[in-house]
Structure 1
Amino acid sequence: MPSKAIAQTPSTAAKPRVLDSEKITINLGFVDLGHIDLLVAESFYANRTDFIRTAIRNQLASHADAVKQVVARKMLVLGLQHFSQADLLAVQAANQKLQVRVLGLASIGHDVSPELALATIASLEVLGSLQASPEVKAALASRHL
């Protein structure tokens, strides 16, 4: 019987993974939690997380117009904004500084040094999550609005 060749794929261990969500912790009263568990038990929701995500999405939908107005007024990038080392080197070469304003996820490449981040990012406002190396986060802490 001929042997089958096994295709090898490159390891993704060295490549930083961009998360599509962030874990939060909330405290609920026992009665509220009991109501949620009852709805889950009666198959209105798959689990507690499904209920909480649905409740949050419903609240966000009910305030969608207000969010749109604020995003427009504050000139926020909505969604994902990534800054690579090449992006920031181009900003530096143009002798400019960025005012970063993101509603969602702002990420700064793991190959970006704290010095490059400081040289190119004048201010940083992130409503959501910032993904960057601990060193870059520390360097930009005073510029985070």
Structure 2
Amino acid sequence: MASKNTTPIRARAGETEKVTINLGYVDLGQVDLMVQEGFYSNRTDFIRTAIRNQLTIHADVVQQTVARKTLELGLRHYTRADLEAVQERNEKLHIQVLGLATIAADVTPELVEATIESITVLGVLQASPEIKAILANKMV
């Protein structure tokens, strides 16, 4: 269920999240061997490729789940005007995003409190610390 403020995203340099993983010594050694032999430029390249391969293999399941859960896939940005329009209609949002959800810097905590009933973000939420504190109580 896409909206005009939702766009598909593919991480570019500088637009990534850091993820820490633990690997066994043998697995890590095999990764290092693949890097040493020139198959991958570094450990990150190997891991990123492995993740993309798994996501490709399971793409149908991901798409079916996104459709079933009515998740917005990609980048979803909420502006002050978006939330003010919701407030004028006396509505509340149930936000569900798989990807990146952002809330504009000029959105006030009061506006968020008045317009967002619940939020689920599978990925990353970018908002001010004040907004994140309010949304912490609305996470599903």
The two structures have a TM-score, normalised by structure 2, of 0.88
- The equivalent residue for 1:102 is 97
Distance 1:100 1:65 in 2: 23
TM superposition shift of 1:113: 1.3
TM superposition shift of 1:78: 0.3
AA paired with 2:58?
H
- The equivalent residue for 2:7 is none
Match for residue 133 of structure 1 among 128, 131, 136: 128
Q: What secondary structure, in the 3-state scheme, does the structure 2 residue paired with 1:117 have?
A: helix
Q: What secondary structure, in the 3-state scheme, does the structure 2 residue paired with 1:124 have?
A: strand
Match for residue 19 of structure 2 among 10, 21, 24: 24
Distance 2:35 2:42 in 1: 6
1:110-140: per-residue Cα shift (whole Å, max 9, x none)?
Answer: 1111111111111101101100011101111
Q: Which runs of 4+ in 1 moved over 4 A?
A: none
AA paired with 2:56?
A
The alignment's C-alpha RMSD in Å is 0.9
- The equivalent residue for 1:6 is none
AA paired with 2:26?
V
Size of the alignment, in residue pairs?
A: 127
TM superposition shift of 1:27: 1.2
Distance 1:111 1:29 in 2: 45
TM superposition shift of 1:20: 2.1
- The equivalent residue for 2:5 is none
Match for residue 33 of structure 1 among 28, 49, 61: 28
- The equivalent residue for 1:121 is 116
TM superposition shift of 1:24: 1.1
Unaligned runs of 5+ in 1: 1-18
Q: 2:91 aligned with 1:58, yes or no?
A: no
Q: Percent identity?
A: 65
Unaligned runs of 5+ in 2: 1-13
- The equivalent residue for 1:90 is 85
1:79-99: per-residue Cα shift (whole Å, max 9, x none)?
Answer: 000001111111111111111
Distance 1:125 1:60 in 2: 21
